[in-house]
Amino acid sequence: MKAYRAAILRFAPEGDPHQLAVFEDDGLLVVGPNAQGTQVVLAVGPYRALQPRFADVPVTHWPGRIIAPGFVDLHSHYPQTNVIGSPAEGLLPWLENYTFPEEKRFSSPEYCTQAATFFIAELLRNGVTTALTFATSHPTSVNALFTEAQKHKLRLITGLCLMDRHAPVDLLNQPSVRGGTDATEQSLLDTQALIARWHGVDRLGYAITPRFAPTSSDAQLRGAGELAARYPDVWIQSHVAENHEEIAWARDLFPTSSSYLATYADFGLLRQRAIYAHCIHFDDADRALMRDAGAAAAVCPTSNLFLGSGFFDYAGADRVGFQYGLANDVGGGTSFSPFHTMLAAYYVGREGQTKAGLSLSPQHLWWQHTAGAARALGLEGVVGNLQPGCEADFVVLNPQATPLLARKTALASSLDELLFSMIVLGDDRLVERTVIYQAF
- Inside any domain, residue 47: yes
User: Is the distance from CB of 342 to CB of 419 less than 8 angstroms?
Assistant: no
**Domain end residue (candidates: 376, 394, 422):** 376
CA 202 from centre of chain: 19
62/120 same-domain check: no
- Please state the domain count of the chain: 2
Per-residue pLDDT of the chain (440 residues; tens, 9 = 90+): 999 999 999 998 765 555 589 999 999 999 999 998 999 999 999 999 999 999 999 999 999 999 999 999 999 999 999 999 998 788 888 889 999 999 999 999 999 999 999 999 999 999 999 999 999 999 999 999 999 999 999 999 999 999 999 999 999 999 986 667 899 999 999 999 999 999 999 999 999 999 999 999 999 999 999 999 999 999 999 999 999 999 999 999 999 999 999 999 999 999 999 999 999 999 999 999 999 999 999 999 999 999 899 999 999 999 999 999 999 999 999 999 999 999 999 999 987 665 555 678 999 999 999 999 999 999 999 999 999 999 999 999 999 999 999 999 999 999 999 999 999 999 999 999 999 987 65
- Inside any domain, residue 381: no
- Inside any domain, residue 268: yes
- Rounded Cα distance between 375 and 17, Å, is 11
- Rounded Cα distance between 333 and 102, Å, is 16
299/395 same-domain check: no
Domain CATH code at residue 363: 3.20.20.140
| Cβ neighbours of residue 404 closer than 8 Å, sequence gap 6 or more | 425
411/359 same-domain check: no
pLDDT number for residue 437: 87
130/21 same-domain check: no
180/209 same-domain check: yes
39/167 same-domain check: no
268/311 same-domain check: yes
**Domain end residue (candidates: 328, 358, 376):** 376
**Domain end residue (candidates: 345, 376, 407):** 376
pLDDT number for residue 351: 79
213/96 same-domain check: yes
What is the model's pTM?
0.96
272/131 same-domain check: yes
**194: helix, strand or coil:** helix
For 2, counting Cβ atoms within 10 Å of its Cβ (0-12 exposed, 13-18 middle, 19+ buried), the class is middle
366/414 same-domain check: no
Residue 432 neighbours by CB distance under 10 Å: 16
307/399 same-domain check: no
Domain CATH code at residue 398: 2.30.40.10
User: Is the distance from CB of 312 to CB of 286 less than 8 angstroms?
Assistant: no
| Cβ neighbours of residue 60 closer than 8 Å, sequence gap 6 or more | 2, 3, 4, 5
| CA-CA-CA-CA dihedral for 348, 280, 234, 391, to nearest 10 | 10
pLDDT number for residue 112: 98
- Rounded Cα distance between 299 and 73, Å, is 10
- Inside any domain, residue 57: yes
Range of the domain at 109: 71-376
25/100 same-domain check: no
- Inside any domain, residue 258: yes
pLDDT number for residue 19: 55
